[in-house]
Structure 1
């Protein structure tokens, strides 16, 4: 039986040891409001899992959904503007 091995050493570091690039960090900063809004929505959904929705719970869920949509819209507009400026 022949043993198969790579003839060259790896060119890039394994994913476990690799640090995020500046571009990846910048993308995370841009998405931070959307991530926060998503966590807020998740928190509101978890809070009402085991009970009937009250008027206050309904308002909280509605507000959280609106924040997620607003954050998505802002992110889409921001990336569209950035793409237009870069082109």
Structure 2
């Protein structure tokens, strides 16, 4: 006869690994402007899908895409500044 045992201990044994670390939270906070810009771009694109294309939707998507690109560029430039000690290029 085989006994059925619970795996609760194995699941809860890794519980500390589920939560993000302080370093991971810092990275998320640093990337938040780019994340929010991407969300705005998705919102503009989803809104435009619900109706026929018009000039206003086109401009809204173009502006949101530009804001997302600017946020990504600034995030990339921040990473480059931190990776090179002493400001060397």
TM-score category (smaller protein) = 0.7 to 0.9
Tell me how far 1:68 sits from its aligned partner. 0.7
TM-score of the aligned structures, taking structure 2 as reference length: 0.75
What value does the CA root-mean-square deviation take over the aligned residues? 2.3
SS in 2 for 1:19: coil
**Residue of structure 2 in register with 1:18 after alignment:** 18
Is the aligned partner of 1:27 residue 2:21?
A: no
**Superposition map of 1:65-80 within 5 A:** 65-80=65-80
Give 5+ residue unaligned stretches, structure 2. 1-9
CA distance in 1: counterparts of 2:53 and 2:77, whole angstroms: 34
Is the aligned partner of 1:48 residue 2:45?
A: no
Give 5+ residue unaligned stretches, structure 1. 1-9
Residue 83 and residue 43 in structure 1: after superposition, are their counterparts in 2 closer, same or farther (change >3 A)? same
